[in-house]
Amino acid sequence: MRKLFAALFLLAGFAAQAQDPIFSQFYAMPLQINPGFAGSAIAPRMGAAYRNQWSGFNNAYRTYSLFYEQSLERLNSGIGFNLEGDNAGDGILRTTRFSAIYAYRLNVNDHWAIKLGMEAGAQQTHLDWQKLIFPDQIDPIGGVGNGTDEVPPEFASRAQLDISAGMLVLSERFYLGVALKHLNTPNDGILLVNDNLSRGLPLRYTLHGGTELFVKKGNKLKHTSFISPNFLFVSQGPYQQLNVGAYLGLGPFIGGGWYRHTFRNADAVILLAGFREGIFKMGLSYDLTVSGLAGRSGGTYELTLGILFDQNENLHKKKRRDLNDCIRMFQ
């Protein structure tokens, strides 16, 4: 029965308007938030993430992501690649995105810098029609039947070009960023709505920022300890969300807490715990649902892994007094 309602809910939502998945650990997947982050670290880095949203609803939404980025110091630039997969309704609707990213860094002076990022890639949407269950298949006595009068779409998959842009303003004490995703509003529609393909992906507006409060300075053997209050605001179509909280880096340990509000209702309290060892960084977060789904959703789990290849001694010798220190939580 859960799968039936998930299918019908998914079908209705997909026919209306789509919304991008947003990781609770957005700082672990920076290229998903703003292409201006490409090349933000002095060393190359990569990361991976897995998100199981509303685990109490039989794999309602699962999202995977993988990225790589590095700085091109001589060109004041950075490049990156981002791969993302999203499965909704136990694989009924699958979305895959791949993009290449370029960012240019303009050093205004020793204390300010601006980063401009561009992202271009492809998005493919696939609908598994055979997994859908429709009302005319339901027999009140015998259960779910085999046949339906619903007509499947002509094509079950659709691929489109997707273009995004972003900007970061960095100082020694804070950062502020803005990004626009789906500038060309790609039409990923498969189902017909009023004899037309469903509308394209609406623009996604992102505004984020934060600062860093120094706790204890690190060295070659010990990580710097800091607290980073921050916020993330995302708006796409009729959906909005605001995350407000703080990230903690206490030696090898990381932690944090956020409150997420969707402007229609309170959504979740996000709790994070993790560690950093050598070039590796791992985080585990849990979204405690506080909306009307509390007690039924099962909460949301996320696991992230990051690798920052900063153990090269030559990189440490070249490392400047870097404005990127104010975005240490993203590294």
CATH number (domain holding residue 27):
2.40.160.40
- Burial letters 98-131, b for 16+ CB under 10 A, else e: ebebbbbbeeeeeeebebebbbbbebebbbeeee
Contacts of 280 (CB under 8 A, 6+ apart): 305, 306, 307
Q: What is the rounded distance in angstroms from the CA atom of residue 11 to the CA atom of residue 87?
A: 13
Q: What is the rounded distance in angstroms from the CA atom of residue 330 to the CA atom of residue 80?
A: 15
Helix (H) or strand (E) holding 194: none
- Note every long-range contact of 218-223, with CB atoms under 8 Å and residues 24 or more positions apart, other chains counting: 218/251, 220/316, 222/251, 223/249, 223/251, 223/252, 223/276
Q: List Cα–Cα distances, 154 to 127, 134, 191, 192, in angstroms.
A: 11, 18, 9, 10
Q: pLDDT at position 219, please?
A: 57
Helix (H) or strand (E) holding 4: helix 2-16
* Domains held by the chain: number: 1
* Greater model confidence, 27 or 14: 27
Q: According to the per-residue pLDDT averaged within each range, which of 52-56, 221-225, 227-231, 309-313 is highest? A: 227-231
> Could you give the angle at the alpha carbon of 102 between the alpha carbons of 324 and 303, nearest 5°?
65
Contacts of 310 (CB under 8 A, 6+ apart): 41, 42, 43, 279, 316
Mean pLDDT of 255-271: 92
Q: What is the DSSP letter of 198?
A: P
Mean pLDDT of 283-297: 83
Among 32-46, 154-168, 175-189, 191-205, which stretch is predicted with the lowest mean pLDDT?
A: 191-205
Q: pLDDT, tens digit, for every residue of 198-226?
A: 567 889 999 999 999 888 776 555 677 89
Among 25-39, 95-109, 219-233, which stretch is predicted with the lowest mean pLDDT?
A: 219-233
What type of residue is 133? I
User: Quick check: 139 pLDDT over 70?
Assistant: no
Q: List Cα–Cα distances, 100 to 41, 94, 118, 212, 325, in angstroms.
A: 17, 21, 8, 29, 25
Q: pLDDT at position 251, please?
A: 87
What type of residue is 179? A
Of 68, 70, 62, 64, nearest to 99 (Cα)? 68
Taking the model in full, what pTM does it have?
0.85
Among 43-52, 87-96, 276-285, 293-302, which stretch is predicted with the lowest mean pLDDT?
A: 293-302
User: Quick check: 158 pLDDT over 90?
Assistant: no
Q: pLDDT at position 270, please?
A: 96
| Residue 180 near residue 204 (C-beta atoms within 8 A) | yes
Q: pLDDT at position 199, please?
A: 63
User: Quick check: 5 pLDDT over 50?
Assistant: no
- Phi, psi for 252 (deg, rounded to 5): -80, -5
User: Quick check: 191 pLDDT over 90?
Assistant: no
Domain that holds residue 177: 2-330
Tally helices (H) and strands (E) across the chain: 3, 19
Q: What is the rounded distance in angstroms from the CA atom of residue 318 to the CA atom of residue 154?
A: 57
User: Quick check: 2 pLDDT over 50?
Assistant: no
User: Quick check: 271 pLDDT over 80?
Assistant: yes
Q: What is the rounded distance in angstroms from the CA atom of residue 28 to the CA atom of residue 251?
A: 18
Mean pLDDT of the chain: 83
